[in-house]
Amino acid sequence: MMGWRLALLLLHVLLCLVNGVSSGRTSSYVRTEYPSTDIPLESEWFAAPNGYNAPQQVHITQGDYNGKAVIVSWVTVAEPGPSEVFYGKNEHQYDQRAEGTVKNYTFYDYKSGYIHHCLVDGLEYNTKYYYKIGSGDSSREFWFETPPAIDPDASYTFGIIGDLGQTFNSLSTLQHYEKSQGQTVLFVGDLSYADRYQHNDGIRWDSWGRLVEHSTAYQPWIWSAGNHEIEYRPDLGETSTFKPYLHRYQTPYLASKSSSPMWYAVRRASAHIIVLSSYSPFVKYTPQWTWLKNELKHVDREKTPWLIVLMHAPMYNSNEAHYMEGESIRAAFEKWFVKYKVDLVFAGHVHAYERSYRISNINYNITSGNRYPMADKSAPVYITVGDGGNQEGLASRFSDPQPDYSAFREASYGHSILQLKNRTHAIYQWNRNDDGKNVPADNVVFHNQYWASNTRRRRLKKNHFRLGRIEDLISIF
């Protein structure tokens, strides 16, 4: 009897604590920004490399399911030139060679350069590789590091960037990111914003490729597409969708048995990353729906405990910009995210930062009227990082009052860093640009959604409990 009362009292105290932390915060941080205009084309930040037909816009992405391959991509402008990559473990000594493909495209009156894609596979884990592309005096050399082998306790650090564009704010985001320990970027859509120009001027795709090369040539960016990649222009005779994006940015979709480069999955270190397309069919019975249903069944949380989803339009967003645009994809997929205990869902689209509590709205019923998001410990945390700094500027009007599901929100430019420490812990932070000091503006310890529910994990939690970690409290209820 006594035990029961004590338990009730304890529960009450804990609930108060939870209530205390569960009122969300809207940051009042205000700072002046660079203007939201694109960097001029003649700027040094867009300078093409020296040398005849030198490879430019170099970028790499993961090339297989498990992280032992990369796809190296680049553009040559004068002539196709070779599509081969020379690589090896020692600088300037390239004992291996891979052969790729070259293609080009037109978009209305724009003619692209020669776009090369080359799969480099059979790599060893945890290894630094040097690579060389191009020929003769114009060849260029870069390097990348492969991830550790798939392992539940493999530590790995991801950066998360969205809606980047090519303004000085974009550049600032990139430069801040490059100062971090990020090893791979999870990109949540809207790359160049070339579609803002007359006839979707592809020259702005090329300038963007040169702007980001400083990062993309040396570490993989895991791509997902946003609305600015659609480029559906029937008025210009351009009736396909995602044409420039699909020519320029490859994804290893076949390795995850996807039928489209727009949605796919990769596993890297201790993470299973699922990339979805907000602007491709996703309702019941469509290819994306069928693929996701199957992929989720095959996620192995014993080997890759961190289940992360990327999509462009956020499902939970309390900004006036793009408000409720994610409702249709939420209706299609949210129940699966809860069922499979997805850890984190990253989105962009809204040009601001926002993090949710673990909530779900899967009991929505059009007949009974149930329609409120509820605290749900099986639900993911939803994070919007559409604050890369593109020419459309910040989305600074949040709905007032802040809804219960919103934990923290701020309209500033920035990027996130997710450090997967081991199977149970990840340290997450959002960094706004130009703080002038190294203090992340949002900082959370995430406990893994799969390993948090087994007994060993519970014991760990007890020990941490005295520290009064917010996530501990929330993950109990």
Catalytic residues: 322
In 179-286, where does DSSP find H-type helix? 203-216, 243-248
106 is an interface residue for ligand NAG by CB under 6 A = yes
Vertex 172: Cα angle to 169 and 177 (nearest 5) = 130
Residue 188: closest CA among 154, 218, 228: 228
Q: Name the residue nearer to Fe ion (CB basis): 349 or 447.
A: 349
* Residue 190 binds Fe ion, judged by CB under 5 A: yes
Supply 401's token pair: 């009052």
DSSP category for residue 48: P
- CB neighbourhood size of 280 (10 A): 16
Binder among 90, 93, 104, 454 for ligand NAG (CB under 6 A): 104
229 forms part of the interface with Fe ion (CB under 5 A)? no
Tokens of 149: 């082998």
196 binds ligand NAG, rule: CB under 6 A: no
Taking the least distance from each CB to ligand NAG, the nearer of 301 and 409 is 301
Q: Is 421 in the site for ligand NAG (CB under 6 A)?
A: yes
Region binding ligand NAG by CB under 6 A among candidate stretches 26-34, 136-144, 360-368, 429-437? 360-368
| Interacting positions 49-88 with ligand NAG (CB under 6 A) | none
Q: Tell me which stretch binds ligand NAG (CB under 6 A): 168-176, 300-308, 337-345, 362-370.
A: 362-370
Radius of gyration of the chain (CA): 23
- Residue 226 site contact among ligand NAG, Fe ion, none (CB < 5 to 8 Å, cut-off depends on kind): Fe ion
Tokens 């680049």 sit on residue: 74
Residue 206 Cβ, how far from Fe ion at the closest point, in Å?
21
Binds ligand NAG (CB under 6 A): choice among 52, 94, 105, 232: 105
Spatial contact of 347 and 326, defined as CB atoms under 8 Å apart: yes
Query: How many angstroms separate the CA atoms of 318 and 467, rounded?
Result: 30
- Judged by beta carbon distances under 5 to 8 A according to partner kind, the member of Fe ion, ligand NAG, none in contact with residue 190 is Fe ion
Instruction: Answer yes or no: are the C-beta atoms of 200 and 231 closer than 8 Å.
Output: yes
Residue 367 makes contact with ligand NAG by CB under 6 A: yes
Question: Which one of Fe ion, ligand NAG, none interacts with residue 23, CB within 5 to 8 A by kind?
Answer: none
Question: For Fe ion, which residue of 56, 57, 169, 227 counts as binding (CB under 5 A)?
Answer: 227
Whether residue 386 contacts residue 164, with contact meaning beta carbons closer than 8 Å, is answered with: no
User: Does 422 help bind ligand NAG (rule: CB under 6 A)?
Assistant: yes
Phi first, then psi, for residue 175 (nearest 5°) are: -65, -35
- Both tokens of residue 258? 């996807």
Q: Which three-class secondary structure state does DSSP give residue 298?
A: coil
Partner touching 422 among Fe ion, ligand NAG, none, CB below 5 to 8 Å by kind: ligand NAG
Instruction: Return the range that interacts with ligand NAG (CB under 6 A); candidates 82-90, 234-242, 364-372, 466-474.
Output: 364-372
Pull the structure tokens for residue 338.
């809860």
57 vs 227, beta carbon nearer ligand NAG: 57
Q: Provide the pairing of β-strand 271-275 with 264-268.
A: antiparallel
Q: Which residues contact 148 (CB under 8 A, 6 or more apart)?
A: 125, 126, 154, 155, 156, 269
Closest among 350, 282, 292, 291 to 319, alpha carbons compared: 350
Rounded CA separation 356/228 (Å): 25
In what helix (H) or strand (E) does residue 338 lie, and over which residues does it extend? helix 327-339
Among 233, 425, 457, 469, binds ligand NAG (CB under 6 A): 425
Which among ligand NAG, Fe ion, none contacts residue 325 (Cβ within 5 to 8 A by kind)? none
* Complex with ligand NAG: residue 89 or 421, whichever CB lies closer: 421
From 274-282, 379-387, 398-406, 418-426, span contacting ligand NAG (CB under 6 A): 418-426
Q: Does 181 bind ligand NAG (CB under 6 A)?
A: no
H or E stretch covering 185? strand 184-187
- 270 vs 412, beta carbon nearer ligand NAG: 270
Given the complex with ligand NAG, which of 111 and 397 has the nearer CB atom? 111
Say if residue 82 is preceded by a cis peptide, omega within 30 of 0. Answer: no
Residues 334-353 binding Fe ion (CB under 5 A) are 349
Q: How far is the CB of 60 from ligand NAG (least distance, A)?
A: 24
Q: How many CB atoms lie within 10 A of CB 395?
A: 23
For ligand NAG, which is the closer residue by CB, 421 or 461? 421
How far apart CA 266 and CA 158 sit, in angstroms, is 13
With CB under 6 A as the contact rule, the residue among 12, 31, 97, 111 that binds ligand NAG is: 111
Q: Pick what 335 binds: ligand NAG, Fe ion, none; C-beta below 5 to 8 Å, kind-dependent.
A: none
The torsion angle over the Cα atoms of residues 40, 45, 50 and 54, rounded to 10 degrees, is: -90
- Residues forming contacts to Fe ion in the complex (CB under 5 A) are 190, 226-227, 349
Site for ligand NAG, rule CB under 6 A: 104-106, 111, 365, 367-368, 421-422, 424-425
